[in-house]
Amino acid sequence: MSAKAGQREFDVIVIGSGTCGGTIAKELALRNKRVLILERGANPPLKETLGAIVSIADRVILGDRGLSTVRALTTGGSTSLYFAVVNYPQLDTFRTLGIDLAGDLAAIRNELPIGPLPDSLLNPQGCALSDSARALGYDWHKFDMLVDASRCTAGYAYDAKWKAKSSVQDALANGAVLMNGATVSRILVDGERAVGVEYKLRKSPFGAELRKAYAKKIVLAAGELATPKILRDTGVEGIGARGFYCNPGYAIYGLVPGLKGTDGFVGSAGCQLDAGIELSDANIVRALHRPMMVGGMKLKHLFAFPETIGIGVKVKDGLGGQMRPNGRLHKTFDQHDRAKLDRGRQAAVKILEKAGAKDIVDFGVTAAGRVGGLVRIQEHVDSTLETQFRGLHVCDGSVLPDDMRGTPTVSLVCLAKYLSRHLLSAL
């Protein structure tokens, strides 16, 4: 490969190093394909400390009154910040779109550490929530998690959660090239075919170098907050025409006198209410407790981590809002969405009160799940996830069907393996 002026030729350029980008890069590099990975973020060691999280977290505004979500700009993407909860792909839904993921899901079950947490890893807060919810008649149960319990010999361990960075590292070990600090300017198009990528490579805090790279195939895996704008700027028609959803919700906390809380895996248990309302364990780790309480001005809870107990509320909102010309998203909620938020909050407060919680507070409505609905399979991409521009494929959370609102990690790994097979057959 020529290094002249940073312009190189590859078999595949992967934009984004998260779940899909990392998986695709790994699958292709293992089969001796020349792969370039463009990652906007840096490549720091992943740690669950305040400083480490602040260095990679990027808050994205989605609407008025503080409505926002957070993504991670780093190698491995948002799996560096996620809770590692497993929601499975809806195989029948994908089949109606011409995509068969059954074999990929079966393979992933054998490859990744998937399963419910053993009882020994449930912390006192989680157990109190479970007892309270069940006493009130809710079907509170453990969820499958992407956690290697063998790495939790001393209890909760951040490193036990599967992360996409491991796939990127496998890709690099097999010859892939990773460019950190690379922000895509545009997809290079020749007629009706995508032929390359122009990107700005950050050389210092004050300057960047404009580069171009070329490939037979380009995979846009920049995430649901970045991919739609890149597609629209490239000329893909109809992106975001129906609005989007963001799964709004609350984080609600109270204080239980005498509770001796410890670190644990957030989101490891919960229940589904009617009308698309989900409740789950929201007991954050000690390292994040004080910053969160300071940020929300919850001073009474600030130094009370052992007694703090929390529930997350997430509701399935309808499509609405818009993607503005600058790519920023702005969401509005209708009365039906707000009614579901109110019902979810009321149920969460009842569970906390049943557990003995006092001084119950929330942090206002925020996005409690992924943003979606802007890009659609069989409308903006076909069954091989290819756009109207030949050679340009999309593989990230932006293309997941609307009904799939849960944590998308397993579905995305399946989709990435599926696309990898199609790419290999075409190269």
Q: What is the pLDDT along the chain (427 residues), one digit of tens a residue?
A: 333 345 589 999 999 999 999 999 999 999 999 999 999 999 999 999 889 999 999 999 999 878 999 999 999 999 999 999 999 999 999 999 999 999 999 999 999 999 999 999 999 999 999 999 999 999 999 999 999 999 999 999 999 999 999 999 999 999 999 999 999 999 999 999 999 999 999 988 888 999 999 999 999 999 999 999 999 999 999 999 999 999 999 999 999 999 999 999 999 999 999 879 999 999 999 999 998 999 889 999 999 999 999 999 999 999 999 999 999 999 989 999 999 999 999 999 999 999 999 999 999 999 988 899 999 999 999 999 999 999 999 999 999 999 899 999 999 999 999 999 999 999 9
Handedness of CA 60, 63, 64, 65 (dihedral sign): negative
Class of domain 4-111+162-240+373-426: alpha beta
pLDDT value of residue 393 = 98
pLDDT value of residue 203 = 86
Residue 24 near residue 420 (C-beta atoms within 8 A): yes
* Average pLDDT score, the chain: 94
pLDDT value of residue 2 = 35
pLDDT value of residue 3 = 36
pLDDT digits (tens, 9 = 90+) for 123-180: 999 999 999 999 999 999 999 999 999 999 999 999 999 999 999 999 999 999 999 9
Question: Which residues are within 8 A (CB) of 133 and not within 5 positions of it... i.e. 6 or more apart?
Answer: 140, 271, 279, 351, 354
Q: What is the pTM of this model?
A: 0.95
pLDDT value of residue 65 = 78
Sorted by where each begins, the domain ranges of the chain are 4-111+162-240+373-426, 117-157+247-367
**Distance between CA atoms of residues 331 and 41, nearest Å:** 26
Class of domain 117-157+247-367: alpha beta
pLDDT digits (tens, 9 = 90+) for 292-351: 999 889 999 999 999 999 999 999 999 999 999 999 999 989 999 999 999 999 999 999
Residue 387 near residue 393 (C-beta atoms within 8 A): yes
Partner residues linked to 200 by β-bridges: 183, 210
Question: Which residues are within 8 A (CB) of 69 and not within 5 positions of it... i.e. 6 or more apart?
Answer: 59, 60, 62, 225, 246, 366, 367, 371
What angle is formed at CA 347 by the lines to CA 346 and CA 352, rounded to 5 degrees? 95
pLDDT value of residue 372 = 95
| Number of Cβ within a 10 Å radius of residue 238 | 13
**Distance between CA atoms of residues 163 and 214, nearest Å:** 28
pLDDT value of residue 1 = 35
pLDDT value of residue 5 = 41
